[in-house]
Structure formats: C-alpha cells, structure tokens
Amino acid sequence: MQLHDVWFVLIAVLWIGYFFLEGFDFGIGILTKLLARDRAERRVLINTIGPVWDGNEVWLLTAGGATFAAFPDWYATLFSGFYIPLLVILVCLIVRGVAFEYRHKRSEERWQRNWEEAIFWTSLLPAFLWGVAFANIVHGVHIDQAKNYTGSFWDLLNPYAILGGLTTLVLFTFHGAVFSSLKTVGDIRLRARALALKLGLVTAVLALAFLIWTQVHQGDGWSLAALVVAVLALVGALGVLRAGREGWGFALSGLTIVAAVAMLFLALFPNVMPSTLNPQWSLTVSNAASSPYTLKLMTVVAAVFTPIVLLYQAWTYWVFRKRIGVQHIPAEH
C-alpha cells in the first residue's frame, strides 16, 4: 500500500469519526424541538453536549486540513464545485457555535428563544447537506479534463443526493435520540428512548434504500460487507433499546454510522471524485495526491499528535460521563 492509499484511509477515518461524534451533536440540536417540551428540557439536551461539541468539530477541521495537504486537487475541485452547500454548512456551524455560547448570556424570553431556534436550524441543515455532498462525491459529478467541476448547484440536488441527505438527517437525529436517552434521567430519558425506536424504523427504510442504491451503482465485495454491518448494527440498536440498554444502543447506532460512511469510502476507492463526463477524467488517489515527500512528512506529524488528541478527547468524555436531568438545571434569575 502506497502513502496516498494510506492517506485516503486516514481521511476516511477522520470523516467517520466526525460523523460519529458530530452526528449526535446535530441530533441533539434537532431534538430541542422534537423532544424537549419546555425550556428546562431544552437546557438539559444542550447541556448533554455542552462540554464536547466544540471538540467534536476538531475532526472536521482535521479532515479538511488533511484533504488539502494530502490531496490538493481533490480539495480544490470539491470546494470550488460544492461552494454553495459547503458555505451554507460553514455559516451554520459558525452560527451554531455562537448560539451555544450566547443563549444563556441573557434571561429574556425572546433572546433565548431566538438562539434556540438558531440551534435547531443550524443543526438540521448541515445534517442534510453533508449527506447531499457525500452522495454526490460517491456518485460522481461533472468534472472535465482539467479537473474542474463544470456542473451547477442544481445538478447537486439529484434524487440520489437528496436521498443521501434525508438518510444522514434521520440517522443523525436517531443517533442523537439514543445519546440523549443515555445522558439524561427521568421522563425525558424515557421519551428519548421511545422516539429513538420510532426514528430507527424510519432510518432503516431510508438507509437501506440509499446504501443498496450505492451498492448497485458502484459497490464491490468490501462495500457489501460494510452494508451488512450497518444493517445488522441498526437492527441490533433497536433491539437493545427496546430492552432499555442505552449504552449498547449508542454503541450500535454509532457503529451504524461508522459502517455506512465506511461503505461510501469503500465504494469510492480508488477514486476520490468520479467524473460523470468521462471516467478517465476522474480524480483518483494517485492523480490528485501530493508529492511522496509531503505525504511522508504528514505521516510523521500525524503519528505524533493524533494519539494526544484522542487521549484528550477520551478524557473529556470520561469526566462528563454522568447523566443529567431537569433537577440539575438551576432556576433562572
């Protein structure tokens, strides 16, 4: 295996980690409207991710930076061709971070309600648009011989991509519901578990349709194995949730995301962005990669700093592992 293959795998791992962690973040933001009945319950949901949401976004920054350094042509074509949806995602992430930090700065009803509204929409839109973006990356887009995207914004909103967006939206919301049932106590925990069971059924229908479509279009034996793992993990998550085992449910809902995203990268390899105009114009791990010296230097840096980041983030989750409920929310002044 050459270094550009190694870095394709590493970038896939970074995106898998991002969707696993940020997936329940987005889900919690969406559930502030779907699950919470009052301001206290919304505060409980937001507090479940309060200590970790910004750390989860480090995975996105690292994935983008690694793509820029390891596959500059992939980065250039992706960010120029997908400029509008990626800009919308970026704006949402900025506003979402501001909303988390500023919502509690003032006690006025209108102030907090507006920031909570922002949290909902800036969680829902990226959850949908990430699915649209990755569906287009895997399915292929209009790339010419000069490695430039020649399509329009509306070309990205094709039926396959929209199905991909709906799949990630529901899957992340399901993941968030499982996480909220794991991190809360009392009535909200029971309602989160019940909602997760309902969302899991919708997720199963959409995810199965999307992954089968992907497999039929460009899958192989490895992607088929990942599809099977994703389906079994989702079924297992629903089974253990029904038995009240939220810890196992969260692990299996996370495995569903891991296997589903892994399947997309397995179906994509050795391409990084297929061309629908001419397969010979596709961006691949070899023609889009940086020089061997750059990849070698990146490998050394990653080997040193990646374990430090992982240990720190694991420590953060351990420190803030306890459940919370409305009884832990102080009265507003």
Q: What is the CATH number of the domain that holds 62?
A: 1.20.1630
User: Alpha helix (H) ranges present in 219-273?
Assistant: 221-242, 246-268
Domain count, the chain: 1
* Distance between CA atoms of residues 232 and 20, nearest Å: 17
**What is the average per-residue pLDDT within 226-253?**
94
pLDDT at 85: 92
* Distance between CA atoms of residues 30 and 23, nearest Å: 11
Residue-range definition of the domain harbouring residue 143 = 3-294+304-328
Question: What's 66-123 look like in SS3?
Answer: HHHHHCHHHHHHHHHHCHHHHHHHHHHHHHHHHHHHHCCCCCCHHHHHHHHHHHHHHH
pLDDT at 328: 63
pLDDT digits (tens, 9 = 90+) for 288-307: 999 889 999 999 988 888 88
* Distance between CA atoms of residues 284 and 305, nearest Å: 27
Residue 299 lies in a domain: no
Whether the per-residue pLDDT at 235 is higher than 90: the answer is yes
pLDDT band at 250 (very low <50, low <70, confident <90, very high): very high
pLDDT at 333: 52
* Distance between CA atoms of residues 262 and 274, nearest Å: 17
What's the one-letter identity of residue 258?
A: V
* Distance between CA atoms of residues 234 and 170, nearest Å: 13
Share of the chain above pLDDT 70, in %: 98
* Distance between CA atoms of residues 22 and 55, nearest Å: 9
pLDDT at 20: 94
Residue 171 lies in a domain: yes
Residue 333 lies in a domain: no
Whether the per-residue pLDDT at 220 is higher than 60: the answer is yes
Run of H or E residues at 272: strand 271-273
Task: Quote the tokens at residue 313.
Answer: 């983030």
**What is the average per-residue pLDDT within 47-64?**
88
**What is the average per-residue pLDDT within 137-152?**
89
Q: Is 163:213 a contact under the CB 8 Å cutoff?
A: yes
Average pLDDT, the chain: 91
Indicate the pTM of the whole model.
Answer: 0.93
Residue 73 lies in a domain: yes
Which of residues 187 and 107 earns the better pLDDT score? Answer: 187
